[in-house]
């Protein structure tokens, strides 16, 4: 019973992080406001580090959700191809442009988000999961 709850909790963390990073990449591709994207990625990494119990889970879930969100962001640019009379050259250029924007900005987003996540993991271990008070047991 406990193993199922832990697996469900990890799945829920993965889905929430996938949604968060997908929203961040959609903001990057649509608004093209880098300051908000960087701040949101740092905030998401920090909050995710606070709730995860182990560093291994943090790394695995973060990497999987980051690649999934990147795929969804490129899929957003390919979605106009569902329209019957679309010019395929525009769709292909849009997908390549989205992939290049994601690759270029990942140079900054990845380290900032991981560092803030490790900081959140450290603070969570140090202050929130250190001792159990007698009132909360």
Q: Is residue 136 part of a domain?
A: no
**Overall number of domains in the chain:** 1
Inside any domain, residue 134:
no
Within a domain: residue 44? Answer: yes
Confidence of residue 116 (pLDDT cuts 50, 70, 90): very high
116, 42 in Cβ contact below 8 A? yes
E strand spans, 85-126: none
pLDDT (0 to 100) of residue 93: 79
Mean pLDDT of 18-38: 83
Domain coverage including residue 119: 2-128
- Nearest alpha-carbon partner for 79 in 91, 89, 66, 88: 91
pLDDT of residue 50: 87
Q: Are 62 and 15 in contact (CB under 8 A)?
A: no
CB 44, CB 20: distance < 8 Å: yes
Please report the pLDDT score of residue 42 as a whole number: 92
Q: Is residue 135 part of a domain?
A: no
Chain segment 39-97, per-residue pLDDT in tens = 988 999 999 888 887 888 888 888 888 888 888 887 877 777 777 787 777 777 777 87
The yes-or-no verdict on residue 136 having pLDDT over 50 is: no
Answer yes or no: is 104 within a domain: yes
């Amino acid at each position: 019973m406990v193993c199922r709850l832990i697996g469900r909790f990890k799945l829920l963390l993965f889905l929430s992080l996938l949604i968060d990073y997908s929203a961040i990449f959609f903001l990057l591709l649509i608004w093209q406001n880098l300051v908000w994207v960087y701040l949101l990625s740092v905030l998401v990494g920090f909050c995710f580090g606070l709730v995860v119990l182990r560093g291994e889970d943090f790394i695995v879930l973060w990497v999987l959700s980051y690649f999934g969100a990147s795929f969804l962001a490129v899929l957003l640019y390919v979605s106009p191809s569902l329209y019957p009379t679309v010019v395929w050259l525009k769709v292909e250029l849009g997908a390549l442009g989205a992939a290049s924007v994601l690759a270029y900005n990942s140079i900054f987003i990845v380290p900032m988000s991981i560092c803030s996540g490790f900081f959140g993991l450290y603070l969570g271990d140090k202050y929130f999961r250190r001792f159990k008070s007698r009132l909360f047991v």
